[in-house]
Structure 1
Amino acid sequence: MKIKQIDMKSIDEIREEMIETVTCSKSDIFRIGEKCRHDYESMTNELANIKQMMVKLIEEGDQLEEQVKEARLTLSEVSMNFKNYTEEEVREAYEKAHQLQMDLSINWQYKKQLLDKRDDLERRLIGLNDTIDRAEQLISQISVVMNYLTSDLKQVGEVLEDAKAKQDFGLKIIEAQEEERKRLSREIHDGPAQMLANVIMRSDLIERVYRERGPDEAFSEVNSFKKMVRSALYEVRRIIYDLRPMALDDLGLVPTLRKYLQTIEEYHNNSKITFMNLGLERRLPTKYEVALFRMIQESVQNALKHANACEIKVKLEITNNDITVLIKDNGGGFDTSIKKPESFGMIGMRERVDLLDGDITFDSKIGKGTAVWIRVPLTN
């Protein structure tokens, strides 16, 4: 018995050290990401200034070329009729032609410097984009680790009664981590990764538009390009937020749901999300709040992303004995008789409900929307 107590104490100490290390790493990565975002904005502004300067230089260069042509014609005329011009006129003609040629040469050199600087900035911006994306991914992954360290692993001492329990518990954690990584991978692949790929393609398009159609249309493409970058950044931050809102620990399920659904509605301007709390507004044990939040979150995201719903209703009722939830949307729906092994979201929801000894029902028809009904008993 004494040996088990020592082992559990050691595990708790290790867990605390891991939490401290992971927290510091997350803060460092966040600072790196913020620094990269600041540098990105500065470089973007510098790139815009360079492009404006290039437009002016191109205009000046065109004017200088015309003036050089005229000066050469004048020199040719002077050379052919040398005796008809005074020495002063001949000297002025040569000096003017020479000066214009020098100005044109300087103009070309300056344009070349700006082009090199522009290309360098664009390469660095791509690198910064990659760094920002990687930092956001790392923060997301660290948040998952922190979730397990501060919640699931917190009760290790109570669960690890023997060697077999330790093994089963470890395997369960690994499986949960892998599932979470798969979900994050799909989220990032379908969202930010696709957007950033489009950003690279759009940057190439901007260069082509600038060369073929001029700066005005190119600047219009730049504005669209900036919107696309902002959209990718929002998608990454949304994924991080979706991992676990801090308000869930501080305020509880009902206020967090109310704020979360309001935020989602604001980001999806074409969708109306209604939340109704019909029962008690009280704190629940952590396992209930986390599981219910995740299931409601998954249902709402499915309705918005896959069903293209424009109206979603979420009803929550907490009584002394149980919790019931209804999530209903007017989206495209699906055929519940067709079992899709890749439906990770539905599988995860069923597993969460099973862990709470509850029930979940999916009622949907193609073109008729979807209703998800959840009931979880409260055990004292």
Structure 2
Amino acid sequence: MPRLPSRLPRASTLLLLVVLLLGFVLGAVWLMAAQHHAEASRDALQKLQQQSSRVAHLDSLLVHLLDAESGVRGFILTGDPVHLAPYRDGAGDIEIALAALRAERWPDASQRDTVEQLARRVETRWALLARAIERSASPEAGGDAESGQQITQDIRSFVETLRTQTMDQINTTILSSFDNLRDARRTNTVLGMGVLALLATIIVLLYRQDRLSDQLGALLQSENERLQSLVEVRTAALSNLATYLTNAREAEKESLARELHDELGSLLTAAKMDAAWIVRKLPGEAIAPLRERFDRLLDTLSQIISIKRRVVANLRPPLLSDLGLVEALRSLAQPGTGEEDGGRITLDLPDTLPDLPAPVSLALYRIAQEALTNIRRHAQATQVRLSLAEEADRIVLKVEDNGTGFNPAVRQPMRHGLTGITHRVQMLAGQLDIDSRPGGGTRIVARIPLAAAER
């Protein structure tokens, strides 16, 4: 018997589980790395946004201040109030820009100081512009003009300094973002290659398991075929043995019936005749005291002869060989052929049948006899129907009752009658159907092919 490789599937399955676990860990690392790089990119974008906002506020502050100076200068030169529009409109924008710059999170304390100095210079410059408008004089005139120019230069210097530092920070943030992108690409490449390697490993393992399953399936199929062949051989041997035993039992019954009929029958008949002769020959005064004894003896001998005839009929029914299967089946329904209630049997038998070999007729008779015996013993039936018919290429024997019934699916070790019926049908290559349920009666149908019956 081939030995199945039971350890290989277990080792392969364990390796597959390890690879899947590694794949899960690698996927988790990949997700965490992607999350880290995404957060780093988001922080870099936020920094760039803040730094760009600083540059925009610085540029807006300087532009509005210069526009206001130009407008005030035009108003002083021309006296036209239209030129004061940048001054009036720019005040709010400058306040917004200064508030935004002060609210910024500058990374260096010196930058925060520079912002404060810038704010003071702007406020001072704005106050000078207001006084110039009030005097309707040129901002460049006198000391105010010189101080205004200096303050503007200081403002330019502060704005340029803050702008340059902010641009440097923007460049640093951009370079850091590029480094983060390179790290992310490198990490994704390594992790992606790892995932691909694990997927390739899983594919290889699954392919090996599939091949191993095919090999195991082939081994199991081969073993099943071997066992099936062995079962068929042993079943055939047991069937042959059962057939031999059945034939041997029938032969023994036939031999015993012949012995009982020929030997015991002749002796009993002779004994009865001798007893009757003695009764006739003895004088009346001599036989009178013994008359009761002789009558009892003659009656006992008659009962023994009747019992002998019934036993011989059960062992080898004479009607089967003398008058055929139909008359033999008809005799099973006659009163006195069963234990009781023989009159309950309804017969549906044909007038003629094809010539059947003696073993086939005997098998059909025994099937009907065993079925009726089971009904009388166990079924408690009130109606029984026995029928025999030729249908197409088969001979069909049916025995039906309305008794207690049983469950055919439940095996009963001591149910030898049905086992014998089944074997007799199998001997003739026939088909046996047993339809029964508890409380619903029983229906036994035996179908024997005419081809088997004609052999």
Bin for the TM-score computed over the shorter chain: 0.3 to 0.5
What TM-score does the superposition give when structure 1 sets the normalisation length?
A: 0.40
Q: Based on CA coordinates, which of the two structures has the bigger radius of gyration?
A: 2
What TM-score does the superposition give when structure 2 sets the normalisation length?
A: 0.34
